Structure 1
Amino acid sequence: MTLLHLEGVTRTVDLVDAPPLTILSGVDLDVDDGDRVSIVGRSGSGKTTLLNLLGLLDNPTTGVMLFDARPVQSFSSAERDRVRGRHVGFIFQQFNLLQGRTALENVMTPLLYAQGRQFWQRSRIAAEMLERVGLGDRLGTMPDRLSGGEQQRVAIARSLVRGPRLILADEPTGALDLETGAAVMDLIDEVALASGAALVTITHDPAIAARATRHLRLDHGVLQTAPNIPVAA
């Protein structure tokens, strides 16, 4: 089933005393449930802007964008927040952990906005997710007492704790060494596969991009197939 559909999507921003700046131009993209998509591009190519659109943080300037067959421009602000909180998980290069909270409390944070079982059992659900990422013995540890790889695992657990249908990974291994980065990507792939979530990875690293089943390149705001990225073994 198609989760995201973009057709002729543009994104422009108004500038003072200058013509509008076009960041994305005529983007066409379909992302299905369970899809694995990588998007590569140079700095300034529009990757972050595209990520913000896919994650329902921004609206297209023109074009058609559907989330679960519904036009995103029709969402109210509150509905957009609910859909994003329930169905989209973000994994950033910078971990963005709450420094005054334990690993368990960080992972519980998205569940504070949940309803029913997810809200009332948030502590147990968060603990189970941390166990799943190999940090079951670090529940009460503060972020500054965790290694970089462990902090990234907490961030991954937090992004996946509500079972999102779409995982957006923005340079997820950029702050990690090669070995830790590979282990983190293995974990993201494993959890996404188990949950049936679509995974869109934005990266400048060809090795990370090659792990996907579809490879795209963003160049000066234009999205196109990137056939030169080798498929991972």
Structure 2
Amino acid sequence: MLLEATGVGRTVELPDGPPLTILSGVDLTVHEGDRLSIVGRSGSGKSTLLNLLGLMDSPTAGELRFLGHDTRALRGSTRDRLRGREIGFVFQQFNLLPGRTALENVQTPLLYSNGREFWRREQIAREILDLVGLGDRLHTRPERLSGGEQQRVAIARALVRRPRLILADEPTGALDLETGGSVMGLIEEVAGQTDAALVTITHDPAIASRSTRHFRLESGRLVPSDAGVGVGGPVGVDVGGVGTDAGVSV
């Protein structure tokens, strides 16, 4: 088993009110090769769940195990190394380094590797850029690339270390329908080559329907869902009026 969440919850303390529970009682298992989608409206806790699954935050209740490790017991440096080695993130916003070429952007995660992977970082980056169809755009900077090409660079960067878990957060939200479908197909293809698990967090039923297991967030709880179900219904946690000073991101 790659990842297992049992009764996971996330509560944050507010400076001028009672604690805010964002997630509660989340149970989820993820095996290698899984294809999962999680749908939820804005404010339902998708970002918070992504942070937990991606080892960027720790639950305040329950247990989250990744590759057999209890994530709450991991030291910060160990958590960072595990995340960098085994988890890849694909976001709606491309977050590419401005002024750096596609090749330089994709090499970035390999700067934190060692041994053969470190010394072969340029060749490895070239190979995955070729895989995503950008072998002829290696030395092009982000501002000279189309939206779809920028997302392909972001995908290559996320997958260059061949992670075992891929977390895609609204990966097609900034793309048109046709390009979005192509990008999802690409993520699925690359994930399939290494039998990586793919968890897609989205509000788009069409994107969600591409997965084989489907969930939705309702009132901070993760429940099974039929493929293609829309995001109507309960909004989930209402965080209206909570300022950024409270440190809340859902």
Gaps of 5+ in 2: 230-250
Q: Deviations over 1:185-226 (max 9, x none)?
A: 010010001110000000000010000000000012100001
Alignment of 1:9-20 (within 5 A): 9-20=8-19
The equivalent residue for 2:171 is 172
The equivalent residue for 2:92 is 93
Contact preservation (8 Å) 1:59, 1:73: yes
The equivalent residue for 1:119 is 118
- TM-score (ref. length: structure 2): 0.91
- Cα distance in 1 for partners of 2:109, 2:36 equals 25
Gaps of 5+ in 1: none
- Cα distance in 2 for partners of 1:157, 1:32 equals 22
Contact preservation (8 Å) 2:208, 2:227: no
The number of residues matched between the two structures is: 229
Alignment of 1:31-110 (within 5 A): 31-110=30-109
Tell me the amino acid that sits aligned with residue 125 of structure 1. I
- Cα distance in 2 for partners of 1:68, 1:29 equals 14
Tell me the amino acid that sits aligned with residue 204 of structure 1. H
Contact preservation (8 Å) 1:217, 1:225: yes
Task: Name the SS of the counterpart of 1:18 in structure 2.
Answer: coil
Task: Name the SS of the counterpart of 2:41 in structure 1.
Answer: coil
- Cα distance in 2 for partners of 1:82, 1:118 equals 15
Which is worse superposed, 65-74 or 130-139?
Answer: 65-74
Tell me the amino acid that sits aligned with residue 115 of structure 1. N
Question: Shift of the alpha carbon at 1:228?
Answer: 5.3
The equivalent residue for 1:136 is 135
- Cα distance in 2 for partners of 1:216, 1:116 equals 40
The equivalent residue for 1:30 is 29
Higher strand share: 1
Question: Shift of the alpha carbon at 1:100?
Answer: 1.4
Q: CA RMSD in A?
A: 0.8
Question: Shift of the alpha carbon at 1:116?
Answer: 1.0
Question: Shift of the alpha carbon at 1:117?
Answer: 1.1
- Cα distance in 1 for partners of 2:86, 2:57 equals 16
Question: Shift of the alpha carbon at 1:229?
Answer: 2.8
* Displacement over 4 Å in runs of 4+: none
Tell me the amino acid that sits aligned with residue 165 of structure 1. R
Tell me the amino acid that sits aligned with residue 215 of structure 2. L
- Cα distance in 1 for partners of 2:179, 2:3 equals 31
